[in-house]
A = this chain, B = another copy of it.
Amino acid sequence: MRFISETTSDGVSEQLFILGEIPGVLWTPEGAVGTRPLILMGHGGGRHKKAPDIVARARRSVAECDFAVVAVDVPGHGDRPKDEEYDRIATENQARVDAGEELAPLIAGFQTLVARRTVPEWQAVLDVVQQLEHVGAGPVGYWGVSLGCGLGVPSVAAEPRVRAAVLGLGGALASAEAAARITVPVEFLLQWDDERVPRAQSLALFDALGSAEKTLHANPGKHGELPAFELDSTLRFFARHLC
């Protein structure tokens, strides 16, 4: 793990790093010392580790809850090189949608493919970040919606360090089997008028989660229109389960 830069504003330190070929960013309280809860955040499709919604969520998690937050670029996203296989699949999928195929199964298939790489990558990220003196081996939370849910479900299922997860804007097609292996508390976000994920498939993914404590928050609006008050709820959810 190699740190590239560090900046601090409003009491939040932001460190860019590279781990092998994975570019990442770590947010921690300014001057942090000792072990604290760590949130791993998975970004959305076509976005990256410093997408505005990730940054806003991360900074509030650090400032209000004293957590550490880490996010890395998914293969083919952000500062990572283009991935020829992914680009080819994306082009093929677009052609199939244009020809009248359903979007959701194509998204699901793509997410399953990408998750084969991100599950071990994210485990490696947790390994090294939890060795840092100002993060430590505290409880881990996962936050990810849309692509971050498609990749998050198999990751949370495979990762015993994750104690609580916020997931959503995703359907059961990609990940019902992995969802059934998740047993930690989950807050699941669903947009009632989601134009990308059919409502029934979202409800089926919530249903498939094996967790005894899981709570579905559904709100009107499209895929990208999560209401601001859900971020307040996310912070309280993580505080309840990780502190």
Which A residues form the contact surface with B (CB < 8 A)?
190, 192, 203, 206-207, 212-220, 227, 229, 232-233, 236, 240
Give the nearest-CB partner of A187 in chain B: B217
Query: Could you write out 25 A-B pairs with CB less than 8 Å apart?
Result: A190-B216, A192-B207, A192-B216, A203-B203, A206-B218, A212-B220, A213-B219, A213-B220, A213-B227, A214-B219, A214-B220, A215-B217, A215-B218, A215-B219, A215-B227, A215-B229, A216-B216, A216-B217, A216-B218, A216-B219, A217-B217, A218-B218, A229-B240, A232-B236, A233-B233
Bound form: Cα–Cα A207–B199 in Å: 12
Name the residue among A214, A220, A232 with the largest chain B CB count within 10 angstroms. Answer: A220
The residues of B that contact A232 with a CB separation of less than 8 Å are 236
Q: Is the interface of A mostly helix, strand, loop or mixed?
A: mixed
The residues of B that contact A203 with a CB separation of less than 8 Å are 203
Bound form: Cα–Cα A207–B219 in Å: 10
Give the nearest-CB partner of A218 in chain B: B216
Bound form: Cα–Cα A182–B232 in Å: 25
Give the nearest-CB partner of A237 in chain B: B229
CB of A229, distance to nearest CB on chain B (Å):
7
CB of A186, distance to nearest CB on chain B (Å):
11
Bound form: Cα–Cα A10–B38 in Å: 38
CB of A153, distance to nearest CB on chain B (Å):
18
Q: Would you list the 3 A-B pairs with minimal beta carbon distance, nearest first?
A: A216-B218, A215-B219, A217-B217
Name the residue among A192, A207, A215 with the largest chain B CB count within 10 angstroms. Answer: A215
Give the nearest-CB partner of A209 in chain B: B220
The residues of B that contact A215 with a CB separation of less than 8 Å are 217-219, 227, 229
